[in-house]
Structure 1
Amino acid sequence: MWMKQAIRSTKRNPSHFEKVAKHYNSLHDSNSTVPSVNVPTNSKPRRGRPKKNKGTPLMEKMPIKFQPHISKIIDVLPDGNCGFRAVAALLGMGEHLWHDIRKKMIDEMKIRAEKYGAMYGAKLCQTIIDALHVAPEELVTEEKWFTIPDMGYIVATTFKVVLITLSNSGSTTFLPLAGAAPISHHIIVLGHVNRNHWVQAKLKGKHPIPRTAPQWRYHRDSDAEGWETSYKRRMTQYQKELEEQNLTKEQIVVDLTKD
């Protein structure tokens, strides 16, 4: 599903650093209830205030229809780089290498400047590049968060992975824009919670896959077509489950109107 409104990463809550850091460390595990607040990496003042997790487990913040297919939710530090941290961790690099993710995405945009220019236009391309440019100790503000859909294609193409983003605002699959598909694909999954924080998601077996983001078909290279072929059946499964869920909701509404 294409999401016109960009999804962004975590805001900051600097005034409660010590309290939040202590609480985060005491709760942090692979599926704990961790507030989506900011835990700064140093004591410098931060700007912005996140929406706090009011005790709902992260799993319950995933799309209802996808929850049965999720085996684990793994949180990352909510310091404004959470989307990049989650990508780094899912690639096996460790979330502390979030800055490398940003740099490699910038390199990708430079290599395929013409392609991204055709997709986004010069102004948005520059906005994305500016958002990716962050010094290791920089105070990251909203304009430099990880955004979807803008950065989804860049992640998939840079790291040659299938990127799935899960959100109650809509779930999408991003495929590489260039390069032939290998025999074995690497799928990474990001979950978006509280409208301001990214987490890692681990899926079970032959899980369904959301439909491909629409711009992929118009801007991919011809040799990249094979990336979608392997997933058409699972995308059909996803659509079927979505329609069944919507049908169930409609039936419930009808039942509620009966005497």
Structure 2
Amino acid sequence: MEELETHTTESGDMFGSEYRFQLYKSLNFFGEEAPLQNWMIMPDTSVLIASRYNVVLHCFSRHASTTYLPLRSTPPPAHEHIVIAIGLVYGNHYVKLELGEYPMPPIAPQWIHCKRPCAAKWVTPYIERLNMYNHYYRASFNG
């Protein structure tokens, strides 16, 4: 919610003002067990998580796997990056994955189109792993 409140114009440009408001409403819950309408809307919430917490977030699923990077921060040295991988299970829950060094899925289009210039170097330490994912992904469809 804080990411949406603090960066109203940017998130409005990225999501559209109506959908931005829908995201905000879904996150605005502070009870014990969130009803379905208050669950995080993925993958759109992933963009907010990466930027708000200054982390690299990988979301894996059968249908689409994506890497989310912070939109507005200068990256710290690569050894200080916090990298989180989550995987979709049962079509409606994400669990944390421990994968070690793995090929990284493509970067989210939102980052490519909406990042500030200072954030551009977030991708630099991951180029080889991004290329590896593309290589394996293409090979699985061509082979």
Give the TM-score band, short-chain normalised: over 0.9
Report Cα offsets for 1:7-60 as digits up to 9, x if no partner.
xxxxxxxxxxxxxxxxxxxxxxxxxxxxxxxxxxxxxxxxxxxxxxxxxxxxxx
Report 1 or 2 for greater relative contact order, CA contacts < 8 Å, sequence distance ≥ 6.
1
Match in the other structure for 1:125: 20
Output the CA distance in 1 between the equivalents of 2:37 and 2:63.
Answer: 20
Q: Which residue of 2 aligns with 1:179?
A: 73
Partner of 2:91: 195
Counterpart mapping for 1:176-255 below 5 A = 176-183=70-77, 184-204=80-100, 206-248=101-143
Are residues 1:112 and 2:7 paired? yes
Aligned-pair CA distance for 1:214 = 0.9
Shift of 1:145: 1.3
Tell me the SS of whatever aligns to 1:119.
helix
In structure 1, the residue matched to 2:56 is 162
Q: In the TM superposition, what whole-angstrom CA distance separates every residue of 1:75-108 from its partner, at most 9, and x where no partner exists?
A: xxxxxxxxxxxxxxxxxxxxxxxxxxxxxxx112
In the other structure, the counterpart of 1:19 is none
- Cα shift readout 1:157-186 (whole Å, capped 9, x = no counterpart): 011000000000110000001110110211
SS of alignment partner, residue 203 of structure 1: coil
**What's the offset of the Cα at 1:207?**
1.3
Name the structure with the higher helix share: 2
Percent of paired sites with the same residue: 29
In the TM superposition, what is the alpha-carbon distance from 1:147 to its structure 2 partner? 2.0
Letter of the aligned partner of 1:182 in structure 2?
Answer: P
Q: CA deviation at 1:114?
A: 1.0
The normalised TM-score by structure 2 is: 0.93
Gap regions ≥5 residues in structure 1: 1-105, 249-259
Provide the alpha-carbon RMSD of the alignment: 1.2
- 1:121 positional shift: 1.0
TM-score by length of 1: 0.53
Greater gyration radius? 1
| C-alpha distance in 1 between matches for 2:83 and 2:41 | 19
Structure 2 residue ranges without an equivalent (≥5): none
Q: Distance in 1 between matches of 2:95 and 2:12?
A: 29
Contact 2:69 2:122 in 1 (8 A): yes
Consecutive aligned runs of 4 or more in structure 1 exceeding 6 Å deviation = none
- Deviation, 1:140, is 2.2
2:35 aligned to which of 127, 135, 141: 141
- Contact between 2:47 and 2:110, CA under 8 Å: does it hold in 1? no
Counterparts of 1:238 and 1:219, CA distance in 2: 23
